Structure 1
Amino acid sequence: MQAVRVHPNRVNATTPYSAANPAPVTAIHVDKGIPIPQPNGPGELLIRVRATTVIRDALTWPETYSKEYAILGHDFSGTVVSVYDEVEGSPFKPGDEVFGMARADRGGTWADYAVVMVDETCLKPEQLTWAEAAAAPLSALTAYQALFDKGGVVPPDLGNPDGLSLSQVHDSQGGQCRLLVTGATGGVGTYLVEMGRLAGMYVVAATSSNSRNKQFLESLGASEIVEYAELLSRTAKFDVIIDTVGGQVLKSCWELIGEVGTLVSIDSASYNFVEMHRDLGLGQQKTGVRALFFIVAPSRDDLGQISKALKSGLITPFVSSEMALTDAILAYERSEGQSIGRGKIVLIV
């Protein structure tokens, strides 16, 4: 089979690539003649990959260097080829069309075939294309877990669109619960806006340009759209802030969060932001704020809820472009650019 792998440092073998010394894009190679992996343990499935996504900054992740010649990629859509023969009562069978997200330390979906776990996989909504299905799992799961698991917001019943309650969620003072989403037009941000609306929250979407993004964010259900330069002028505080940007924007969130709010960041460079911000004296007076960084984890239950929402059109997968797996290097370079359009770059396998 063909697979896109990260090759070792050939310029300086004594300095291997790592998160501290990330591989350049030139270390990515489309290799052929790679053996097809096989399920070798309970809960494993062999998938014929049909589409996968390009994840920005994947070459900076420590998990990328957990082994030599690691195959990149986490999102996938495709067809079940085989199920480990000792699994009884598996929810999947050969021929099933599925989608999902391989765990961060496993990956391996930039290939013709990939071994994934049952817990990482769900049946694909029939009306979605391979590209649309692949574009959803990592971003939608991140949004779902950030808002409902880490943010403490009660999730709506996404499996019952006709009976979905869009009644307002109230804070401890009886007002409508306020959610701020930074990076609202990004891959995770769009799902956060939609899910916050579905949960009955007052959703404020932060963006770099109202003129460019206001109409789009309103279509997703944002209650209010605000540019970053205007954020600190707001007097109303937020009950929940989900940050996808990091940096100075994340620092400013301490001024915006309520006294007993929840501040969550998913920005990979902000993994230790709580400690760093405390050292800078940020948020010292807000002892009731729950602040944390988290990394998404596969969950078949959460993915099942997302699948229902995708099937009923409650949330929307966005694909900015489709490229061939053989163009993976170019696709990764484009993902690192300032703007790739709305949605994910999808590799068609």
Structure 2
Amino acid sequence: MKAITIEKYGKNVPYVMTDQPVPQIGEYDVLVEIHAASLNPIDYKIKEGKVKLLLDYKFPLILGNDFSGVIVKVGERVNAFKPGDEVYGRPRKSRIGTLAEYIAVHEEDIWLKPQNLNFEEAASIPLVGLTTYQAFTDILHLQKGQKILIHAGSGGVGTFAIQLAKWMGAFVATTASDKGYELVKSLGADLIINYKKENFEELLSGYDAVFDTLGGAALEKSFRVLKPGGQIVSVSGLPNARFGKEAKLGWMKTAILSIVSRKITALEKKYHATYHFLFMKPSGRQLRVLKEFIEGGHIKPVIDKMYHLDQTVQAFSYLQGGSAKGKVVIKIK
């Protein structure tokens, strides 16, 4: 099968189209012929070795973290799916590799794709959808009437997050540029801050939660908008000791995380807030919930550009340029 691989970690390491063996399936796996995959920042962070402390892979490594496609074979203990089923999913972190023609994936990591979406639209959902759902329901317990700031509202995660937060009844503020204004407005954002002209930390206060997709200075400034007891969930900030303990990374890695995140810990204490680093978990059960949201018309996919598998280098270049509005999708079949 054709696949996009890397031979080692590094910022300048090339993405290469190679021939790889079709993966073998275990007794609880299904083999999926992939029709589409989407790109996410975690893909190039993995390539550059930025998450080696949390995930370390063997090479050659097939990249890609979410997909849609058709099941062609099932393991002997699989009961929920059959060949011919159209599915979407996010494979577990030890078994990534969706930028390929086939993938073997555990049955618990997939679900039937939403019937009102095509394969390209369905492929844009799993990672951003699960990330947002887990942030809002498992961590923040977002309630109707609460106020949340969602950073980078026109991005892949942001476009999904605005819609889910509004459906849950929250008041949504978001940051966007002039080019993203109409998009985030159409998705339901209540307050839009032009980050190129305005400072969100000077305009907002008393917020219950912040959903951070940027990290760095934006994350640090976000503490200022929270009310006492407020919470921040970040997918781009530094993991902290709390995450290390929850993820059972061991005392050494947890100690390292405690040291590198000490500035965030100080901000937690200063603003009487709680910081959570989110490393999303695959979940077919939650994909089933998202399918219901989508088929009910509450959430729609937002796709900026589509590329073919042999255009993956151009696709990553576009995504890393930072101007994508919504998701970048790779059409494979």
The residue that corresponds to 1:86 in the other structure is 77
Indicate if the aligned counterparts of 2:36 and 2:120 stay in contact, CA closer than 8 A.
yes
1:96 is aligned to 2:85: yes
Larger Rg, first or second structure (1 or 2): 1
- Return closer, same or farther for 1:279/1:23 CA change in 2, 3 Å cut-off: closer
Indicate if the aligned counterparts of 2:150 and 2:211 stay in contact, CA closer than 8 A.
yes
The residue that corresponds to 1:35 in the other structure is 21
Indicate if the aligned counterparts of 1:319 and 1:346 stay in contact, CA closer than 8 A.
no
The residue that corresponds to 1:319 in the other structure is 303
Gaps in structure 2 of 5+ consecutive residues: 241-256
1:137 is aligned to 2:126: yes
1:201 is aligned to 2:170: yes
1:185 is aligned to 2:154: yes
After superposition, where does 1:1-349 map in structure 2 within 5 Å? 1-8=1-8, 17=9, 22-26=10-14, 28-32=15-19, 34-41=20-27, 43-56=28-41, 57=44, 58-60=46-48, 61-62=51-52, 65-87=56-78, 90-153=79-142, 169=144, 176-207=145-176, 209=177, 211-228=178-195, 229-234=198-203, 236-267=205-236, 269-272=237-240, 276=260, 278-279=262-263, 281-287=266-272, 289-349=273-333
Give the residue type in structure 1 aligned to 2:185. Answer: E
Indicate if the aligned counterparts of 2:159 and 2:187 stay in contact, CA closer than 8 A.
yes
1:80-108 deviation digits (Å, cap 9, x = unpaired): 11111133xx1110000011111222101
How far apart are 1:232 and its partner, in Å? 2.1
- Return closer, same or farther for 1:96/1:183 CA change in 2, 3 Å cut-off: same
**What is the alpha-carbon distance in structure 2 between the residues aligned to residue 103 and residue 36 of structure 1?**
18
- Return closer, same or farther for 1:215/1:322 CA change in 2, 3 Å cut-off: closer
- Return closer, same or farther for 1:274/1:193 CA change in 2, 3 Å cut-off: farther
**What is the alpha-carbon distance in structure 2 between the residues aligned to residue 38 and residue 292 of structure 1?**
37
Indicate if the aligned counterparts of 1:237 and 1:258 stay in contact, CA closer than 8 A.
yes
How far apart are 1:25 and its partner, in Å? 4.2
Name the TM-score, length of structure 2 as normaliser: 0.86
Give the paired residue count. 308
Indicate if the aligned counterparts of 1:64 and 1:70 stay in contact, CA closer than 8 A.
no
**What is the alpha-carbon distance in structure 1 between the residues aligned to residue 159 and residue 216 of structure 2?**
20
The residue that corresponds to 1:159 in the other structure is none
**What is the alpha-carbon distance in structure 1 between the residues aligned to residue 187 and residue 86 of structure 2?**
28
Identity %: 29
How far apart are 1:344 and its partner, in Å? 2.1
Name the TM-score, length of structure 1 as normaliser: 0.82
* Aligned Cα root-mean-square deviation (Å): 2.1
- Return closer, same or farther for 1:116/1:235 CA change in 2, 3 Å cut-off: closer
